[in-house]
């Protein structure tokens, strides 16, 4: 019996050390590609033991691909990162208890207050297969928001309400471009990737990322509309489902000195995800940087509102009181 147990244990150990041989060439090539992306682009690349990382991924690969991917995301240590499987449209996240996009969101209604303008900024998701489709849908998205702003605008407005509640993110630039009239000229934020810092700017009505003109890319023309009352107060609504690129949008609006935030704290994903297309067609959405506001202050956690409001009644009451100060 002891001899049998010894032999069994021996083969288990041998199996563990020869795991790469048990993976087919194509499978091993896939995992080498996956590991390479983490190693070269992850925001945590300088703090990960990559030898141990690779060993654990290849070990989990013997169980299943999903298990290996989940392990990679967990060891990477960023709950914002995820893997998107194109064939069944499933997202795989690391094993983190604190944050998840899963779950039912609370229904919300538009906030209506006398002498206020209202603009709801919904999430914007880029096409997984076509940049052309993304550009075309972004033009429709931005132009719809522009028309909403124009139709609501008036010299008599005492306040504008920008609603970012329940906005789970996506592509940040169409959201930010939509709010160009509310942004100051000059710096409105920064993306930090390693030692590289790239600013977000509003210049002559256009939004730039470093030297890249995002307004012309996503809208195709200059957004040359100014609010009829440039000194109007701006109430930004956020909640626990305001996440990722919606948090970037909130950061950009912080550049307006007349802004005040109302609601509950955001989900807490104020970081930059890079969408990396794998050779098999899947996408690795990897956290590669973080954001700073227009003052250069790092936003590392949830955005906390200036006024906590847990219900629509509270929001209306607190915004009204602020307007009448």
170 DSSP assignment: B
Give the helix/strand (H/E) hosting 316: helix 312-323
Q: How far is 310 from 250, CA to CA, in rounded Å? A: 19
HEC per residue, 268-285: CCCEEEEEEECCCCCEEE
Cα 24 from Cα 300, distance rounded (Å):
41
Domain ranges of the chain: 11-93, 116-267+302-323
Q: How far apart are CA 126 and CA 135, in angstroms?
A: 8
Element (H, E) at 69: helix 65-76
Q: Are 238 and 164 in contact (CB under 8 A)?
A: yes
pLDDT digits (tens, 9 = 90+) for 49-72: 999 999 999 999 999 999 999 999
Give the whole-angstrom CA distance, residue 110 versus residue 175: 18
State how far the Cα of 248 lies from the Cα of 176, in Å rounded to an integer. 8
Task: Tokens for 129, please give them.
Answer: 């297969």
- The tokens 């936003």 sit on which residue? 299
**H helix count then E strand count, the chain:** 10, 14
List the strands of the sheet with 259-263, edge to edge: 116-120, 159-163, 233-238, 259-263, 307-308
In the three-class reduction of DSSP (H, G, I as helix; E, B as strand; rest coil), residue 145 is classed as: helix
pLDDT (0 to 100) of residue 74: 96
Instruction: Output the pLDDT for position 130.
Output: 83
What is the sign, positive or negative, of the torsion defined by CA atoms of 141, 144, 146, 149?
negative
Q: Are 52 and 95 in contact (CB under 8 A)?
A: no
pLDDT for 103: 54
From first to last of its 325 residues, the chain has per-residue pLDDT tens of: 544 544 444 444 445 444 445 788 999 999 999 999 999 999 999 999 999 999 999 999 999 999 999 999 999 999 899 999 988 889 999 998 655 554 567 788 899 999 999 999 999 988 877 889 999 999 999 999 999 999 999 999 999 999 999 999 999 999 999 999 999 999 999 999 988 999 999 999 999 999 999 999 999 988 789 999 989 999 999 999 999 999 999 999 999 999 999 999 999 999 999 999 999 999 999 999 999 999 999 998 899 999 999 999 999 999 999 999 8
Q: State the pLDDT at residue 97.
A: 62
Residue 201 DSSP label: E
Fold of 116-267+302-323: 2-enoyl-CoA Hydratase; Chain A, domain 1 (3.90.226)
Q: What is the pLDDT of residue 20?
A: 44
Helices (H), 77-213: 131-152, 172-178
CA 207 to CA 216: how far, in whole Å? 9
pLDDT at 85: 95
Assigned token pair, 152 = 């609501």
| Matching residue, tokens 């955005």 | 303
Task: Tell me the two tokens of residue 299.
Answer: 């936003």
pLDDT at 96: 82
pTM of the model: 0.86
DSSP 124: B
């Amino acid at each position: 019996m002891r001899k049998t147990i010894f032999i069994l244990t021996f083969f288990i150990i041998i199996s563990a050390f020869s795991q790469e041989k048990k993976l087919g060439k194509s499978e091993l090539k896939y995992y080498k590609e996956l590991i390479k992306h983490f190693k070269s682009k992850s925001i945590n690349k300088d703090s990960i033991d990559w030898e141990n990382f690779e060993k654990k991924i290849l070990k989990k690969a013997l169980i299943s691909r999903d298990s290996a991917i989940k392990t990679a995301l967990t060891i990477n240590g960023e709950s914002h990162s995820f893997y998107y499987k194109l064939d069944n449209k499933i997202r795989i996240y690391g094993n983190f208890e604190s944050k998840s996009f899963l779950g039912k969101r609370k229904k919300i209604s538009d906030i209506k207050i006398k002498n206020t303008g209202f603009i709801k900024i919904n999430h914007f998701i880029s096409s997984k297969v076509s940049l052309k489709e993304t550009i075309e849908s972004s033009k429709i998205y931005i132009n719809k928001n522009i028309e909403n702003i124009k139709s609501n605008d008036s010299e008599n407005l005492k306040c504008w309400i920008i609603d970012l509640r329940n906005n789970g993110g996506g592509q940040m630039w169409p959201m930010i471009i939509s709010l160009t009239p509310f942004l100051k000229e000059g710096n409105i934020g920064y993306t930090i990737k390693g030692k590289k810092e790239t600013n977000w700017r509003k210049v002559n009505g256009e939004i730039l990322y470093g030297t890249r003109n995002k307004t012309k890319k996503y809208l195709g023309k200059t957004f040359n509309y100014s609010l009829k009352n440039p000194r109007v107060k701006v109430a930004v609504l956020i909640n626990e489902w305001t996440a990722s690129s919606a948090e970037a949008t909130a950061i950009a609006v912080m550049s307006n000195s007349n802004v005040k935030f109302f609601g509950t704290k955001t989900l807490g994903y104020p970081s930059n995800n890079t969408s990396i297309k794998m050779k098999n067609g899947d996408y690795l959405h990897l956290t590669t940087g973080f954001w700073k506001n227009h003052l250069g202050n790092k936003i590392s956690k949830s955005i906390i509102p200036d006024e906590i409001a847990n219900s629509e009644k509270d929001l209306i009451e607190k915004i009204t009181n602020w307007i009448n100060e």
